[in-house]
Amino acid sequence: MSPKTDEFTVSARDTHQLAEKEAIGRACAELILPNQSVIIDAGTTVYHVARHLESKAPQIVTNSLPVANLFASANRLEVVVSGGVIYPRLGVLVGPLAVEAFSKIHADVAIMSAGGISLEGITNSHGLLIDIQRAMIHGAQKVIFCFDHTKFGRKSVLPLCDLDCVDTIVSDNGAPTELVQGLRARGIEVVVAPAAETANLAPEALRDSR
């Protein structure tokens, strides 16, 4: 069993469910239209989405140091990095300056992750992130959450938001069918990323309508 503290360490967390995160990253990136403005939070799964976004030439707004570094030399897109205090264990900028930055930003899409999802809502593990993520959600026209299957049915430390705040959830094919169906019944689009051997399928084949 992995140490519980891995949840708070970005380098350790990014080694968990790596293949699933990469599949989720590809599938989520397919949902982004060229030249959209995109908020990207600091989750490791969301980092894998960012890896596939450069060709879309979006405007990216983030508090994630790994995402900012990923695009540091990219010429096709503009990256806005929030202010805040560096929290090294999470690779993220936190604090009042980060909250204020996102409270003033309007974006087409927010791509988010969190510690757990159930039919009762979405939870996260660290209080320093909650207010920032809520500001991200309020500033976006469309909210996408990315969860690997281990986050389904899990309740983390603190409530983040109700399911009413969520437009789309992207997960891998290990996501429990009953919970996926329950989310769809609540009007949420659920995109199931393909397994590695079918990763090149067209995105239309991967998603069900609401």
Average pLDDT, the chain: 87
User: Of 56, 59, 49, 60, which Cα lies nearest the Cα of 191?
Assistant: 49
The confidence score (pLDDT) of residue 196 equals 57
pLDDT of residue 15: 52
Q: Is the pLDDT of residue 8 over 90?
A: no
Phi, psi torsion values for 31, nearest 5 degrees? -80, -15
* Cα(128)–Cα(42) distance, integer angstroms: 12
Token pair of 68 as six digits: 């900012």
Q: Strand pairing partners for 158?
A: 124
Q: What is the pLDDT of residue 46?
A: 96
Q: How far is the C-alpha of 113 from the C-alpha of 45, rounded, in Å?
A: 7
pLDDT(78) > 50: yes
Mean pLDDT of 136-151: 97
| Mean pLDDT computed over 179-200 | 83
> What local confidence, expressed as pLDDT, does residue 175 receive?
96
